[in-house]
Amino acid sequence: MKTILEVKNLTMNFGGLCALDRIDLDISEREIVALIGPNGAGKTTFFNCITGIFPPTEGEMFISPPGKQRKSIKGLKPNQVTENGLARTFQNIRLFQNMTVLENVMIGRHCRMSSGIAGAVLRNRATVEEEEAVVEESYIILQKIGLSEYVNEFAKNLPYGAQRRLEIARALATEPFLLLLDEPAAGMNLRETKELDELIVRIRDSEGVSILLIEHDMKLVMSLSDRIFVVDYGKKIAQGKPEEIQKNPVVIKAYLGEDFDA
Amino acid sequence: MITLPEIKKSFFVSLWFMFLTFPIMVVRVNPIEKAVEWRWKNLLLVGVGSFLLSFVWRYLFKRKEAGKKKEEAGYDSGAKSFFHIILAEPKIYKPFLIGIAFFALAFPFIFSIYQTNIMTTALIYVMLGLGLNIVVGLAGLLDLGYVAFYAVGAYSYALLNYHFGLSFWLALPIGAALGAFFGILLGFPVLRLRGDYLAIVTLGFGEIIRIILENWNEFSFGPSGIANIPRPGFLGIEFSLQGATTFMYFLMIVLTLFTVFVVNRLQNSRIGRAWIALREDEIACQAMGIDKTKTKLTAFALGATWAGMVGVVFAAKTTFINPASFTVWESIIILCIVVLGGMGSVIGVVFGALILILLPEYLRAFSEYRMLIFGAVLIIMMVFRPGGVISSVRRTYRFEGLTGKRDKTGI
Amino acid sequence: MEYFVELFLGGLTRGSIYALIALGYTMVYGIIQLINFAHGEIYMIGAFTALIISSVLSLLGLNTIAIFVIASFVAVIYSSAYGFTVEKIAYKPLRHAPRLSALISAIGMSMFLYNYVLLAQTSDFLPFPNNIPEFKFMEPYSHIFSSTELVILTTTTVVMILLGLLIKCTRIGKAMRATAQDRDMAMLVGIDVNRVISVTFVVGSATAALGGVLIASHIGQINYFIGFIAGIKAFVAAVLGGIGSVPGAVLGSFVLGWTESFATGYVSSDYEDVFAFIFLVLILIFRPAGILGRSTAEKV
């Protein structure tokens, strides 16, 4: 299996606080990897570092997109990271609330489009065709994610679970090879979580993307992931297959008090 | 209805305002002659005025709260206002538009030069408003130095004409280009700043330009300004004063239509979508692959381009410019137009400009209070109707069904 | 050398005045993250009220010190009342609105107050009586540092100390700091946030009024326009020091005061106001958090 993301020695200091301490992580093609750990362990910070929102204090990050050269993504701006094929969702939903569901996904297509100011004003054939294509492509994505019924609704009027799925749809629209999901099941009920489980597997299979997710729902994590990385206090304390992680004494200790026999 | 406790409340409000405005409204001193003028009438005015206004204020508040609750309960409170009904129904708005078009065409022939001149001024503000609307309304960047780019345009025509005899038609694109150039020059460093810092830095920039124009005599002729700027000619025709005014008016009509056309198209494009998304959530926008700086810079520079272009027209229309035309208050009047009309709404901005510029011209008694009222308008609009009088009913992208031309364009 | 000392002391006086105004900006910003554009107008109203009161009192024939004290006191009361009212009308209804809305409302308020004074009073410059006494012991130095300047400096120092004590040691000060940290959390632990915000406006306006009275006495004239430029400069000072930080505002004010004093003394006075703006642009670009401010990343 080809490795598509390598993170080496990633360290992030905020003032005196060490939020991430020399983390190594790698993801292969078509793999679903979970990043777990107690609250405040540094999981979201890890996402923010990879996606260019925070510049990491130290460490290296490389991507090897399918069919492309291996390259470093350290120091890239968030939009450049996305252009390179990493897309993410947010823990606290960050949709464009006053735009429609369709428009939200269309924004995701932005970086794969090319028309500029001149095109917008002249509305030449290339621009019109591009716009039409984007509307259709966006709709197709919504269909896949199961949101086509909401296509013309405003994002703010969507039920909670649908908003989470719309974030995934929007991220998918950027044509990523690696999808980073930050607590996609947070606030979902049992049925919604189960649907999400299936959706993630389906995305992996049909789109051929790898997935890195942060999640607290252990049942989901165990059933979904090929491999799991565990962080605590900014340090990686374990990695391995779900069944290995479940038995790992260090992990159990870190989670002591939390329900862990899922 | 009006209850006793409410009357009591309003009574105290009015007492408070009478206390508050006492020194400034009632007493007027003349320190040179050591005389004090007492204007007790004003106290009565404030008392009665604030008593009545407090009822209006509370009523508006209640209405706003009720509207909010309705929206929370799931009603579509996109409150079909009078304008929206007109705008939604082609049967109504088409004849309406045709009527306006005829009126606009006939205007200079029905009314005097004076009226035509005022209308041209109003159209200048329509264009300025539409330009600023790109920056504030669409991209959500509060630019308080907009007038600086207007000044750049005006001075570029005046100076290029003075030194090199450049014609209006050549100066028009040059002014626009210089506006864009300055927009990019300023925008590049400041657009990284958060919204409120951006406001104050642009305000500072506007003042810097004005102070430079005022003090750098060799370059800009200082406070005395530049006079005898030629009006635009057309195919070598020499206009009489009346002809020139009429020509200027039609020129402005054409330019305004052009602006409306461009802004509309921009709004419904890839870049327009990005602006709106950027206004909604910057971080999510970047995570979706939108280059924040570039997108903001585009909006800023486009706004500046328009200001530069209108600046050239302004110089040609008045034939005289000096730094006093480009104070920060001018920027705020333009902001007022955008806010009153409804941020992001093209038709709203057009109406906003016409109302704010024409009303004070025709109600002379009221023109002294113009700026006072503009200030109040900004507050009242923000508190009660942040969407503007004609809030933006943005044409959203709607999906009407697959055309079948494409089955899957691979994601 | 003497010229240098004169400029240095001049800068110190300027800085003190900026500090008195900048405090209001920084405190309000710390608590509701709003640039209170109307703050400069509050300062101007303070100066106007003082002028009106002193003129009326001088007709009654009081002695100058009494006039100065009473006029300052009334000015402080009135400015505080204006600050309180401005918050209630223009900002409180917008507490949960987007920042842009509150900012536009603030600009509107500034414009309203400025024109209100212009229309109700006059557009002319008015001479402002200097009722601050000339101290005997200052006479040898009066060519470089006047008694008025000494009073300005002393008042500013005292106000700063009192304000520091207010924020550090009192209940309301603690509530202010808590609200600045996290408004929702403060509300949850039972702090009356509305009251805290009102107090902040009142305190900020009161110090601005003092600044208004002192500078007007020093310069000797006022008009309706003084609020705009002073407001902008004090804001620059607040940003320079790190907006939201009280010691930062003081430090920033002195830095700005000296810069302006030396720049106009040694370079050119035509561009006096430009220096502040250029300074502002440079700081915001290179160190947006200011000298003492901490940069805060938005939580993602």
On whether both A222 and A238 belong to a single domain, the answer is yes
**B33-55 residue pLDDT tens:** 777 888 888 889 999 999 999 88
Residue C167 structure tokens: 């924020």
Residues in a beta bridge with B30 = B35
In terms of domains, do A223 and A260 share one? Answer: yes
Whether chain C has a CB inside 8 Å of the CB on A89: the answer is: no
The answer to the question of residue B18 being in a domain is yes
Q: Is residue A120 part of a domain?
A: yes
Instruction: Say yes or no: B49 and B154 in one domain.
Output: no
A99 belongs to a structural domain = yes
Report the first-to-last Cα separation within chain A, whole angstroms: 29
Residue A250 confidence (pLDDT): 85
Residue B65 has pLDDT above 60, yes or no: yes
- Is residue B170 within a helix (H) or strand (E), and if so which, with residue range? helix B168-190
Is residue A66 situated within a structural domain?
Answer: yes
B68 and B126 co-located in one domain = no
Is residue A197 located within the same domain as residue A142?
Answer: no
Q: Is there a contact between C210 and C43 (Cβ–Cβ < 8 Å)? A: no
Q: Which of residues 8-47 of B touch C (CB under 8 A)?
A: 16, 19-21, 23-25, 27-29, 31-32, 34, 36, 42
Per-residue pLDDT, B130:
93
For residue C42, how many other CB atoms are within 10 A of its CB?
Answer: 30
State the Cα angle at C150 between C37 and C126, rounded to 5°. 50
| Whole-angstrom distance, CA of residue C84 vs CA of residue C97 | 20
Q: How many domains does chain B have?
A: 2
Q: Is residue B340 part of a domain?
A: yes
Where does the pLDDT of residue B404 fall: very low under 50, low under 70, confident under 90, or very high at 90 and above? very low
Residue A147 has pLDDT above 50, yes or no: yes
The reply to whether A3 and A42 lie within a common domain is yes
List chains adjacent to chain A, taking adjacency as at least 3 C-beta pairs closer than 8 Å: B, C
Is residue A6 assigned to a domain? yes
Q: Are residues A192 and A81 in the same domain?
A: yes
> Which residue, of A174, A201, A220, is where some domain finishes?
A174
Whether the predicted pLDDT of A68 surpasses 60: yes
- What is the distance between the alpha carbons of residues B139 and B282, in angstroms, rounded to a whole number? 11
- Are B287 and B369 found together in one domain? yes
What own/partner pairs with CB < 8 Å and gap ≥ 24 does C258-266 have?
Answer: C258/C8, C258/C11, C258/C12, C258/C15, C259/C11, C260/C11, C260/C14, C260/C233, C261/C7, C261/C8, C261/C10, C261/C11, C261/C14, C262/C7, C262/C11, C265/C3, C265/C7, C265/C10, C266/C7
Strand-strand pairing, A227-232 and A32-36: parallel
Which residues lie closer than 8 Å to A245 by C-beta, 6 or more apart?
A228, A230, A238, A239, A251
Residue C300 with chain A: CB contacts under 8 Å: 44, 48, 53, 90-91
The arithmetic mean of pLDDT across residues B330-336, rounded, is 89
Checking if the pLDDT of C77 tops 90, the result is yes
Residues A46 and A16 in one domain: yes
Instruction: Specify the CATH number for the domain of residue A1.
Output: 3.40.50.300
Q: How far apart are CA B38 and CA A157, in angstroms?
A: 58
Q: Domain check: are A110 and A163 in the same one?
A: yes
Do residues A69 and A189 both lie within one domain?
yes
| Chain segment C107-162, per-residue pLDDT in tens | 899 989 989 999 888 888 888 887 777 777 767 766 677 788 888 888 889 998 99
pLDDT of residue B243: 79
DSSP-assigned letters across all residues of B46-82: HHHHHHHHHHHHHHHHHHHHHHHHHHHTT-------H
Q: Are C39 and C179 in contact (CB under 8 A)?
A: no
Q: Which of B392, B398, B397 is nearest to B138 (CA)?
A: B392
pTM: 0.84
DSSP category for residue B29? E
Q: How confident is the model at residue B405 (pLDDT cuts 50, 70, 90)?
A: very low
Residues A56 and A169 in one domain: no
Residue B409 lies in a domain: no
CATH number of the structural domain spanning residue B342: 1.10.3470
To the nearest 10°, the Cα dihedral for C97, C103, C105, C110? 160
Is residue B309, in this structure, part of any structural domain at all?
yes
Q: What is the pLDDT of residue B77?
A: 44
Looking at the structure, tell me whether residues B55 and B159 fall in a common domain: no
For residue A75 the two structure tokens come to 């120091």
Residues B52 and B186 in one domain: no
Q: Which of A139, A174, A209 is the last residue of a domain?
A: A174
Q: How large is the average pLDDT for residues B405-409?
A: 39
Whether B46 maps to a domain, the answer reads yes
User: Do both B126 and B217 map to the same domain?
Assistant: yes
Does residue A161 belong to the interface with chain B, where contact is any CB pair within 8 Å? no
Chains with 3 or more CB pairs closer than 8 angstroms to C? A, B
Query: A10-20 burial string, b = 16+ CB within 10 Å, else e?
Result: bbbeeeeebbb
Under the banding of pLDDT at 50, 70 and 90, the label for residue A37 is confident
**Rounded-to-integer distance, Cα C145 and Cα C72, Å:** 22
In a domain? residue A90: no
A192 with A72, same domain: the answer is yes
Q: How far is CA B297 from its chain centroid?
A: 20
CB contact under 8 A, C103 and B329: no
Domain limits for position B61: 4-72
Residues A181, A262: one domain? yes
In the beta sheet, which residues pair with residue B28?
A: B37
For the cut 70, the answer to whether the pLDDT of residue B78 exceeds it is no
Q: Quote the domain boundaries for residue A102.
A: 95-174
Q: How far is C298 from chain A (nearest CA, A)?
A: 10
Closest-approach residue (CA) in chain B for C243 = B197
Name the least confident of B57-61, B187-191, B297-301, C291-295: C291-295
* B215 and B147 fall within a common domain: yes
| Of residues C34, C116, C280, nearest to B204 (C-beta) | C280
In a domain, B331, yes or no: yes
B254 and B372 in a single domain? The answer is yes
| pLDDT tier for residue B72 given thresholds of 50, 70 and 90 | low
C289 Cα to chain A: minimum distance (Å):
15
Q: How many CA atoms lie within 13 A of C40 on its CB side?
A: 24
B297 plus B223 within the same structural domain: yes
Query: How many domains does chain A contain in total?
Result: 2
Chain A, 31-90: which have a CB under 8 Å from a chain B CB? Answer: 51, 53, 77-79, 82-83, 87-88, 90
* A151 and A229 inside one domain: no
Q: Which residues of B348-374 are buried (b: 16+ CB within 10 A; e: fewer)?
A: bbbbbbbbbbbebbeeeeeeeebbbbb
B123 and B204 together in one domain = yes
Listed residues A124, A157, A174: the one ending a domain:
A174
| Helices and strands (H and E) in chain C: how many | 11, 2
* CA of A33 vs chain B CAs: smallest distance (Å): 21
